[in-house]
Amino acid sequence: MKKEIKPFGEIELSRKLLQAIGDMGFEEPSPIQAKTIPLVLTGADVIGQAQTGTGKTAAFGIPTIEKIKETERRIQALVLSPTRELAIQTAEELNKIGRYKRIFTLPVYGGQSIDRQIRALRRGVHILVGTPGRLLDHIQRGTVSLKDVRTLILDEADEMLDMGFIDDIETIVSSIPLADRQTLLFSATMPEPIERLAHRYMKEPQKIAVSKENLTVPLIEQFYYETRDKLEGLTRVLDGEDTGKTIVFCRTKRGVDDLTAALETRGYLSGGLHGDLSQQQRDRVMKKFREGKLDILIATDVAARGIDIDDITHVINYDIPQDHESYVHRIGRTGRAGRAGIAMTFIEPREYRQLRLIMKLAKTKIVRRELPSASDILERQKDTVRERLLQVLQKNRYDEYHTIISDVAAEGDYDLVDIAAAALKLSVEGPERRDEAVENNLTDTGGAPGMVRLFLNIGRAQKIRPSDIVRSIADEADIPGNIIGVINIYDKFTFVEVPQDVAEHVMSAMHKATVKGFKVNVEPARKR
């Protein structure tokens, strides 16, 4: 009989950690978290065999932070990571987990000013996350002491081995006192050198292996939208699409409540579903949804379990899922009983790499789509807008607005029809927004009109050709190659122009990407 995974509330954790975990949207542990957290809390050494996307950072982060003494600002835990990107990502997650305990995590890695890192270290750090090379540099300078480290975590150990860090790792590990040290090792594979490392530096380690579910992606249409304002994007899609019954997934209970309130105030027939509702409240919401009195059900992953409705036309990921398994489970709620189904995911630019990881692990293609424009929505809603306007006119309760129209007409000598059209535009679309490209300093890069010039840290020395740049950007950012503009390749760097509306997306997509085997750094170019 399959053992049920216990919710976090049944694993003995402090209130502060449970509060942080709830804020992050974890309603129950993933398989590796359920197996790892209790073991680590007992003080055992652990070897975890798990791939990226299984939630292993929280698996070692939650129990490690639980054991940290927050009043002692010294390095009590050390995480070794193969790359600076993983170090940054890990530190961000650990800071979220430790926010209410006031646990401070600092990433140290090459490519960032070492002086800045030294200043941060002097202020006091509870957890240090570092790449082996930069960490050794700090140890040799005397700016990092590992004498108080009680928990050592080797993350992505096989990748560190592939990158030639094994000697650096052994030097670092041997400098941490063994007597009181707990060692946790995580690796997707277990090659012989990793086994030897574990045997030499770990004390009777407990082994945990998490096999990936063999999940099948349903045959449904899958799209994603990239936007900085998800609420505006969602309302555009709801207004611009022919949607039937729709489930919208949020990461947290609070997110469900906030989105439900926001949609209800905008006139959408929506209801929320999460773990804090009583069974009576849950039944009431589900009854309305089944009967068509609600068009939109907003839910967390756990609350949506057991929903068995065949005529759901759309699943919308308002918050990107934690991993590909959650993604597949979510979108499987549509496209049932031979019906067509559509799955949509909203992401911010920084979440694009997580989306690509989901695509890779779920072995599926999620196609980029542009949000419906205001004119698209207006075209679809013309009859509705006209009816609403006639209703307002017929009720004749708008006298207080006469003076505004008169003043505007007098001030600018505007035609009354133009003023009415502008007022209608304001009511349908909202106020004009400041151009995001200006806010993100992407307008002063020396590119052609409507284009942003980007800097890449590779060039002729790496035998890079224009076709390599086009192919890589088109593939990584999921954009047509023919919209990429002028490419200038120099000895050690390259400039490439891309349309302004996709520039931030391209930078996000190319972060940590490779061109012909070389890792690239992409940033806005300086003005010529």
141 in the same domain as 30: yes
What mean pLDDT value characterizes the chain?
85
Q: Rounded to whole angstroms, how far apart are CA atoms 181 and 43? A: 9
pLDDT at 430: 64
Q: Rounded to whole angstroms, how far apart are CA atoms 321 and 26? A: 11
User: By residue range, what is the domain housing residue 115?
Assistant: 8-209
28 in the same domain as 173: yes
425 in the same domain as 446: no
pLDDT at 211: 61
Q: Which one has a higher pLDDT value, 170 or 435? A: 170
141 in the same domain as 73: yes
Q: What confidence tier does 498 reach under pLDDT thresholds 50, 70, 90?
A: very high
Amino acid at 517: G
Q: Please give the tally of structural domains in the chain.
A: 4
Strands (E), 74-210: 77-80, 105-108, 127-130, 151-154, 182-187, 206-209
Question: Which of 209, 242, 275 lies at the terminal end of a domain, its last residue?
Answer: 209
**Residue 360: C-alpha distances to residues 188, 325, 355, 425 (Å):** 16, 12, 9, 41
189 in the same domain as 273: no
Per mean pLDDT, which of 89-103, 232-246, 417-431 is the most reliable? 89-103
Residue 369, SS3?
coil
159 in the same domain as 74: yes
Asked if residue 497 is part of any domain, the answer here is yes
CA 264 to chain centre: 26
Cα–Cα–Cα angle for 427, 430, 435, rounded to 5 degrees: 155
CATH of residue 172: 3.40.50.300
pLDDT at 483: 92
Q: Rounded to whole angstroms, how far apart are CA atoms 512 and 456? A: 12
- Picking from 293, 302, 297, the residue whose alpha carbon sits closest to that of residue 313 is 297
408 in the same domain as 337: no
pLDDT for residue 434 is more than 70: no
Asked if residue 374 is part of any domain, the answer here is no
Question: Which of 171, 186, 209 lies at the terminal end of a domain, its last residue?
Answer: 209
Q: Which one has a higher pLDDT value, 175 or 101? A: 101
Encoded tokens for 502: 């996709």
pLDDT at 2: 43
Mean pLDDT of the region 105-126: 91
Mean pLDDT of the region 452-467: 91
421 in the same domain as 457: no
pLDDT for residue 509 is more than 90: no
pLDDT at 429: 65
Q: What confidence tier does 436 reach under pLDDT thresholds 50, 70, 90?
A: very low
pLDDT for residue 52 is more than 90: no
pLDDT at 215: 55
329 in the same domain as 397: no
% residues pLDDT > 70 (the chain): 92
- Produce one character per residue of 317-337: b if its CB has 16 or more CB atoms within 10 Å, e if not: bbbbbbbbbbbbbbbbbbbee
DSSP one-letter code for 110: T
111 in the same domain as 72: yes
pLDDT for residue 79 is more than 90: yes
**Residue 119: C-alpha distances to residues 84, 106, 127 (Å):** 19, 11, 15
Q: What confidence tier does 437 reach under pLDDT thresholds 50, 70, 90?
A: very low
pLDDT at 78: 97
Encoded tokens for 5: 């995974």
CATH of residue 498: 3.30.70.330
Determine which of 9-13, 41-45, 286-290, 469-473 has the lowest per-residue pLDDT on average: 9-13
Q: What confidence tier does 379 reach under pLDDT thresholds 50, 70, 90?
A: confident
pLDDT at 4: 46
pLDDT for residue 214 is more than 80: no
Asked if residue 214 is part of any domain, the answer here is no
Residue-wise pLDDT tens digits, 333-346: 887 666 778 999 99
pLDDT at 314: 93
Q: Rounded to whole angstroms, how far apart are CA atoms 342 and 286? A: 21
Amino acid at 284: R
132 in the same domain as 75: yes
pLDDT at 53: 58
pLDDT at 338: 62
422 in the same domain as 289: no
